């Protein structure tokens, strides 16, 4: 393996040593030239956690932090991102009234915010269902998202969101109302036209064009690391692999790589990215 000459950051990846390849997947990222990852907590059910109160999310977050320490042993720099997956509302409300489900999710976000305040994680995660839901569920989900924006504003940390595809202009308005900088709301699986900060899937075709325009974006694989769903999105090598491919094809320069993988990431998440 050649030592990397610039940082390569995947800002939305999951590593799961219980249900997936764990350390081996992380090593794939490293061998492909990756250096930094934002390790996002998985939905509670995928870790066989079935919360009945907000504090139960600590089990999910502690597992994310355990995995983070395990990956760091490989030499990758890991930034944990903790929060409550928006689809939890559908799972929880199968077992309890909607209002109770929403309260548990908000309390889970409070637990994540406490971890950020302790310096154990760098960002929060929230959002709203990306699939069709009833008006009641949508209202409850927006309320949870608003709660997360307020917690992120208090913690002065970035907020990753998982939401329906499209602009999400109203989420930018919600952020402004919460006194939270819109450019620190990271739209996971984003598109270039969103007013939020787009985290683009590594193979997104607009990357060369956006790079030429000096538009701010970050890159992600959304690798799930679940053996039952191999290649559900992209593999763990995707961000370094596509970055190197674009370089080889002279569609981006090394200077662009620094801007995408170090400067932009640093500004959005308030972390220092260096080799
Ligand atoms: Zn994800």
Ligand 1 centre to CA of 119 (Å) is 22
Ligand 1 centre to CA of 85 (Å) is 9
pLDDT of residue 5: 85
- Write out the residues surrounding ion ligand 1, Cβ under 5 A: 222
Ligand 1 centre to CA of 12 (Å) is 6
pLDDT in tens, 86-109: 999 999 999 999 999 999 999 999
Cβ-defined contacts of 137-140 (< 8 Å, 24+)? 137/89, 137/90, 137/93, 137/98, 140/89, 140/98, 140/99, 140/101, 140/102
Ligand 1 centre to CA of 208 (Å) is 24
Phi, psi of 33 (to 5 degrees): 110, 5
> Could you tell me if 200 and 220 are in contact, meaning their C-beta atoms sit under 8 angstroms apart?
yes
Mean pLDDT of 37-59: 97
Ligand 1 centre to CA of 39 (Å) is 9
Ligand 1 centre to CA of 270 (Å) is 21
pLDDT of residue 4: 78
Q: Is the pLDDT of residue 231 over 90?
A: no
Ligand 1 centre to CA of 128 (Å) is 13
Mean pLDDT of 107-129: 98
pLDDT of residue 1: 53
Ligand 1 centre to CA of 67 (Å) is 15
Ligand 1 centre to CA of 250 (Å) is 30
Task: Tell me the pLDDT of the chain averaged across its residues.
Answer: 96
Q: Is the pLDDT of residue 230 over 70?
A: no
Distances (CA, A) of 63 to 36, 69, 91: 19, 10, 20
Q: Is the pLDDT of residue 155 over 90?
A: yes
Distances (CA, A) of 264 to 172, 198, 223: 19, 11, 21
pLDDT of residue 229: 77
pLDDT in tens, 60-85: 999 999 999 999 999 999 999 999 99
Ligand 1 centre to CA of 230 (Å) is 14
pLDDT in tens, 165-200: 999 999 999 999 999 999 999 999 999 999 999 999
């Amino acid at each position: 393996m050649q030592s990397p000459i610039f940082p390569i950051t995947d800002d939305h990846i999951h590593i799961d040593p219980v249900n997936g390849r764990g350390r081996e997947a992380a090593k794939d990222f490293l061998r492909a030239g990756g250096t930094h990852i934002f390790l996002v907590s998985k939905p509670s059910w995928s870790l066989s956690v079935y919360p009945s109160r907000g504090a139960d999310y600590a089990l999910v977050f502690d597992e994310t932090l355990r995995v983070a320490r395990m990956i760091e042993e490989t030499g990758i720099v890991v930034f944990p991102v903790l929060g409550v997956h928006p689809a939890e509302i559908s799972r929880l409300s199968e077992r309890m009234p909607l209002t109770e489900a929403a309260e548990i999710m908000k309390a889970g976000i409070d637990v994540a915010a406490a971890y950020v305040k302790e310096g154990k994680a760098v960002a929060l995660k929230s959002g709203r269902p990306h699939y069709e839901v009833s008006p009641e569920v949508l209202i409850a989900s927006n309320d949870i998202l608003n709660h997360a924006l307020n917690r992120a504003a208090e913690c002065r940390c970035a907020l990753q969101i998982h939401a329906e595809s499209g602009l999400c202009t109203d989420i930018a308005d919600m952020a402004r109302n919460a006194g939270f900088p819109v450019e620190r709301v990271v739209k996971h699986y984003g598109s270039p036209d969103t007013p939020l900060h787009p985290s683009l899937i590594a193979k997104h075709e607009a990357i060369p064009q956006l790079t030429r325009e000096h538009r701010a974006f970050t890159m992600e694989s959304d690798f799930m690391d679940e053996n039952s769903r191999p290649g559900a999105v992209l593999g763990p090598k995707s961000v370094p692999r596509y970055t190197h491919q674009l370089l080889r094809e002279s569609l981006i320069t090394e200077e662009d790589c620094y801007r995408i993988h170090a400067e932009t990431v640093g500004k959005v998440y308030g972390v220092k990215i260096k080799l």
